[in-house]
Amino acid sequence: MYWEEKIETMVREDLDALQLARLKRTVQKASESYYYKRVFEENGLNPNNITSLNDVRSIPFTTKEALREHWPYGFLAVPKTDLVRVHSSSGTTGRATAIFHTAADINVWADLVARSMYGAGMRKDDVFQNMMTYGLFTGGLGFHYGAERLGALVIPAGAGNSRRQIQLMKDFETTVIHIIPSYALHLYSLFEELGVNPKTDTRLRLAFIGAEPHSTRTRDKIQELYGVKAFNSYGLSEMNGPGVAFECEVQMGMHIWEDHFLIEVINPDTLEPVPDGEEGELVMTTLMREGMPVLRYRTRDITKIYTEPCPCGRIHRRIERIKGRTDNMMIIKGVNVFPVQIEKTLMNVPGVGTNFQIILEREGYDDIMHIKVEIQKDVFTGNVKQLESLRRRIVDELKNETLVTPKVELVEHNSLPQSEGKAVRVIDNRKD
Ligand code: COA
Ligand code: AMP
Ligand code: ZN
C-alpha cells in the first residue's frame, strides 16, 4: 500500500508537470501569508507569473532568520483555527523556529514517512521502536505517525533510559529501530555490558538512522554490531521533519520526495545554482504544505544530487549523505545548537567574563560539549565552593537552553585566545 508505484516511478516529464501545478498552488497560497505577501510586494512579484519550474528563482530565498523574525505566526497561510500541531527547532531564547501544520499537512507527512519506511523494507508486521525525543522535535511524532500509517506496532520509547530500551527490544521483539547514529554506538556498549548480543538475542533487522551527519563507516559499524540494515534518513523541521529524503533498499543516496519538495542546489557564496553532481547547499520549497508553505528555504546543508538513475527504479533524485553545514550550527546528540545560544546564556550569568570557547569532543562513542568559560577576576580568586556553585549554575542554564548537558570548565580572565570580530569560538574535534 505504501509502495506508491505510480508516483515513485513516474516519468520525469509527468513529475515536472506535477511539480509545476503544485508550485503554482503553493506560491498562490503563500502569498496569503503576512511574510510572503510583503516579500512579493517588495519585489514586484505576482504569483500568477509562475509559469515554469525555473520561475521559482524569481522568488527570494527564505532563511532561518526570517522564520525567527516572524515568530510565531508570520508565515501562516491559513487561519490559526485550521492548525492542529506545532513543531519547533533549535533553541529557546527567541532563536527557535516554529512550524505549524493543518490536519491535512499531518496526514500528508505521515504518508511520506510511511512511503520512506516501506521503501527501506519495513512492513505492517514489523515492531517499531522509536528512540528519538518526542515533543517539539519532529523525529518523535513524525516517525510515530508514519509507522502507524504503515500499520506497524509502534513503541514510543523516546530517547534515553538505555537499559529500558534494551528491555523493550527484547520483551516486544522489536524488529525496526529509529535511532541517532552516535547513540546507536553508545547503546551498543551497554548491550555488551549486559551480555546481550543484539544479533542473536533480539529480532532487530532494520535501523533508520539520521538527525546528525555520519559517515558510511559509522553506518557499516551499526550494521555490523546490530546485524541490521541501516538506512539514512534526512529531514528538517522547516520541511516537516523526517520523510524528506530517505535511502531505498539500494542504500546509495537518499531519494528526495520530489512530488512534495522542489529542490535546488546552490553555490552558497554566489547563490547561483550548481548542476546535478556538484556539491552545494540544498534549497527546498514545500509543494504540498497548506498551513505554512515555505519557499526556497536555505537548509544550510551541504550535499550533491546523484546524476545516475537509481537501480531501484524510483525517479525521485537522490542526494548524497550530508557533508556539513554552511553556517555554524552544531549538532550534538541529535540536538541543534547555535553558538549564540551559549553566548546569550553565559552573558546572563553574573560573574561570567566576556570570552568562552566551545570544544566538541568524542569520548568513546559519546559527544561531549566542553565549554571553557572565562570568569571575572575577583570571582575567580574567590572561594572554591562559590566557584563550584557558579559552575553548576552554568551547566544547568546551558542544559535548559540547549537540551544538552555540557561539561563546563571555569578559567581565568584573559586565558582563552581572543577571537577577532565575530568570534570563532567552536573547535570540533569529533572524528568518525
Ligand atoms: N538519543 C537518545 N538517547 C540519548 C542520546 C541520543 N542521541 N544521547 C544520549 N542519550 C541517553 C543517554 O544514554 C542517557 O541515558 P542512560 O543514562 O540511560 O544511558 C540519557 O540519554 C541522558 O544522557 P546525557 O548524555 O546525560 O544527555 P544530555 O543531557 O546531554 O542530553 C538528551 C539529553 C539525550 C535527551 C538530548 O540530547 C536529546 O533529546 N537527544 C535526542 C534529540 C533528538 O531526538 N533529535 C531528533 C531530532 S528530529
Ligand atoms: P531539525 O530541524 O531540528 O530536525 O534539524 C534538521 C537538521 O538536522 C538538518 O538541517 C541537518 O543539518 C540535520 N540532519 C537531519 N538529518 C540528517 C542526516 N540524515 N544526516 C545529516 N544531517 C542531518
Ligand atoms: Zn533507489
CATH of the domain at 380: 3.30.300.30
Ligand nearest to the CA of 163: 1
Question: For residue 233, how far is its CA from the centre of ligand 2 (angstroms)?
Answer: 9
Domain-ending residue, one of 325, 353, 377:
325
* Whether residue 172 sits in one domain with residue 43: yes
| % of the chain surpassing 90 pLDDT | 91
- Among 273, 279, 241, which Cα is nearest to 257's? 241
Domain-ending residue, one of 301, 325, 349:
325
Ligand 1: residue whose CA is nearest its atom 1: 159
* Whether residue 85 sits in one domain with residue 8: yes
* Whether residue 4 sits in one domain with residue 45: yes
Cell numbers at 390, concatenated:
557558579
* Whether residue 27 sits in one domain with residue 4: yes
Q: Are 29 and 6 in contact (CB under 8 A)?
A: no
Confidence band (pLDDT; 50, 70, 90) for 421? low
99 lines ligand 1 (CB under 6 A): no
pLDDT tens for 389-403 read: 999 999 999 999 999
Ligand 2: residue whose CA is nearest its atom 6: 236
Atom number, ligand 2, closest to the C-alpha of residue 299? 10
Q: Are 195 and 172 in contact (CB under 8 A)?
A: no
Question: For residue 314, how far is its CA from the centre of ligand 3 (angstroms)?
Answer: 6
CA dihedral 293, 298, 304, 306 (to 10 degrees): 10
SS (H, E, C) 318-376: EECCCCEECCCCEEECCEEECHHHHHHHHHCCCCEEEEEEEEEEEECCEEEEEEEEEEC
* Whether residue 302 sits in one domain with residue 214: yes
Q: Are 138 and 87 in contact (CB under 8 A)?
A: yes
**Residue 379 has what pLDDT?**
85
Which residue did the predictor score with more confidence, 156 or 424?
A: 156
Reply yes or no on whether the pLDDT at 423 is more than 60. no
Instruction: Say how many domains are in the chain.
Output: 2
Reply yes or no on whether the pLDDT at 273 is more than 70. yes
State the pTM of this model. 0.96
H helices of 125-269, in order, are: 138-150, 162-171, 181-194, 198-201, 216-226
Per-residue CA distances from 207 to 21, 138, 179, 242, 247 (Å): 35, 17, 7, 14, 11
Neighbours of ion ligand 3 (CB under 5 A): 248, 250, 310, 312, 314
Ligand nearest to the CA of 139: 1
* Whether residue 251 sits in one domain with residue 153: yes
**Residue 364 has what pLDDT?**
86
Mean pLDDT of 5-26: 97
Q: Are 141 and 134 in contact (CB under 8 A)?
A: yes
Domain-ending residue, one of 274, 307, 325:
325
* Whether residue 172 sits in one domain with residue 71: yes
Q: Are 144 and 134 in contact (CB under 8 A)?
A: yes
Ligand 2: residue whose CA is nearest its atom 5: 236
Ligand nearest to the CA of 314: 3
Confidence band (pLDDT; 50, 70, 90) for 381? confident
**Residue 94 has what pLDDT?**
53
* Whether residue 336 sits in one domain with residue 270: no
403 lines ligand 1 (CB under 6 A): yes
* Whether residue 179 sits in one domain with residue 88: yes
Q: Which residues line ligand 2 (CB under 6 A)?
A: 89-90, 138, 210-213, 232-237, 241, 299, 301, 322, 325, 331, 336
* Whether residue 230 sits in one domain with residue 110: yes
Question: For residue 213, how far is its CA from the centre of ligand 3 (angstroms)?
Answer: 20
DSSP state of 113: H
For residues 324 and 321, give the distance between their C-alpha atoms in angstroms, rounded to a whole number: 9
Question: Which burial class, exposed, middle or buried, applies to 431 when counting CB atoms under 10 A from its CB (0-12, 13-18, 19+)?
Answer: exposed
Kindly write down the DSSP assignment for every residue of 173-215, as one continuous string. Answer: T--EEEE-HHHHHHHHHHHHHHT--HHHHS---EEEEESS---
* Whether residue 306 sits in one domain with residue 402: no
**Residue 422 has what pLDDT?**
52
* Whether residue 141 sits in one domain with residue 245: yes
| Residues ≥6 apart with Cβ < 8 Å to 403 | 133, 335
Domain extent for 56: 1-325
Ligand 2: residue whose CA is nearest its atom 3: 89
Confidence band (pLDDT; 50, 70, 90) for 58? very high
Confidence band (pLDDT; 50, 70, 90) for 424? low
Ligand nearest to the CA of 239: 2
CATH of the domain at 38: 3.40.50.12780
Question: For residue 96, how far is its CA from the centre of ligand 2 (angstroms)?
Answer: 15
